[in-house]
Structure 1
Amino acid sequence: MRYTSVAVAAALTLLTVGTAVQGQRGDPAVDARSLALLAKGKALQATGNLDAATDVLETAVTVDPRNREAFVSLAEVAQTRGLPGKAIRLYREALSLDPNDVAALRGQGEALVAKGAVQRAKDNLARIKTVCAKRACPEVAALSASIAKGPPIVTAAATIPTTTVPKKD
């Protein structure tokens, strides 16, 4: 009788732990439809059709929001269009899925330089160097070159209106 309550408690514990472990699912792979859309979007991006590439890549992210590569490709398209703020946000989404993605860190760093946030870009460079401590990464050289180049110089373009003055005869 003394062992009955202990046996019941042990059985309930095993049942609870067994159910909890069985209920947990591993991290499944990215949806195949999203990967197919990603490949199509990259092909459109390579041909220069940025509008169609954006549409297809956004669809890939909608199909599976865990598709980190689709976020990176969308950010690259945004940078190509001269939208560094949007690119920074998209790279942030990719980095929320994998904080050690060196391609996203490099791209975000380049977009930060374009916005003038050189110190934050240097922080990204330090993270890349930490991640790539035991191997050579071309992203280190690429981001270092962007930081050395600095942000683009933007000047206000003064436009002089051209009006026609009627001639007096």
Structure 2
Amino acid sequence: MKTIIDHNPHIALSDLKELFRLSEGSASFTANGVQYTIVFSLEEQICVFLWEYNGKKKQEKIELRKEPSNLGQGYVWYFVCPCTRRKCRKLFLDGNIIASRYAFNHVYSIQMENKPNIFFRKLGKLDDPRKKYGKPLYRGKITLYGKKIQKYRKRQQIINENIGKYIPSFMFKTKKNI
């Protein structure tokens, strides 16, 4: 059976940057009741995780890789997964191993939803399509975003006009029906 990876503890490089900004050389954190200690060396481009799981002391050396940024300025750091040897920015911590998402038989929670759950999740998003920074008009012309809002409002108007046809009158408890 596939595990839902959304709920697994993980550590990202941005988390490590924050940990090492606060402490020098090594840092500790707890995930799912397991105490992890990390020793970090940029010169050797290595990161060592130390932890104890089911009474056994474990150690995992994770290689770090530095690549030029796609923006042309600076570098981007990546973990190299010890299981798959793929570069990644996030490692998942399963008390027994530390690996990237590709090493696990996993799915995301949204992939496990059935049709009614998807419908109700999307229903809340249909309330109003307006965005904080969206502009319906630009230089007097309607934008694609504006067309989307117009289409939404027309659909709402049609639904409001025809609601009596689709919902039986006994559903509405008015003084006439009582």
- Greater share of helix: 1
State the TM-score bracket (shorter-chain normalisation). under 0.3
Q: When the two structures are superposed, what TM-score results if normalisation uses the length of structure 1? A: 0.26
Q: When the two structures are superposed, what TM-score results if normalisation uses the length of structure 2? A: 0.25
- Identify which of structures 1 and 2 has the higher relative contact order when contacts are C-alpha pairs closer than 8 Å and 6+ apart: 2
- Greater share of strand: 2
